[in-house]
Amino acid sequence: MATTVTVKVYFEAAHRLHNPAQSDDWNRGIFGKCNNPHGHGHNYVIEAVVRGEPDPESGYLIDMKDLKAVLNRTIVDHVDHRHLNIEVPWLEDIIPTAENLACVFFERATPELPDGVELIALTVHETERNSATYTAD
């Protein structure tokens, strides 16, 4: 019986959507106000969904506090109250859209999960209405 567990963690950060390979006019046209040269901020929510078989003795697939600890250690501790374009080395060559962040965050968290716990989806919510999800293939 496979079960899923979902947790959410939070962070605040600034970013600028800008492709340095393109002109300033192109960037303003594509990214609009998100291309502000000084960046802009979001109160991000990361929602992670894991799947696996619950332990027959504890009933847990993974203790939710342990899953949150993995997300905090691998992601949040590095990005909270930072400018994502400038202060996070592993995001250096990435345009920090919600789509790209979901993919990179998924890749950072996956190897830190215990055996038998599979990350199947990671969603980055930039706002209450805007999010992007990366799923396992």
In the annotation, is 126 catalytic? Answer: yes
How far, CA to CA in Å, does 128 sit from each of 5, 74, 90, 134? 21, 23, 26, 18
Among residues 12, 53, 81, 92, which one is catalytic?
A: 81
Among residues 18, 78, 125, 126, which one is catalytic?
A: 126
In the annotation, is 81 catalytic? Answer: yes
Taking a C-beta distance cutoff of 8 angstroms, is the pair 131, 98 a contact?
yes
Choose among 137, 76, 74, 78: nearest CA to 110.
74
Token readout for 42 is 């979001």
Among residues 34, 47, 107, 118, which one is catalytic?
A: 34
Catalytic positions are 34, 81, 126
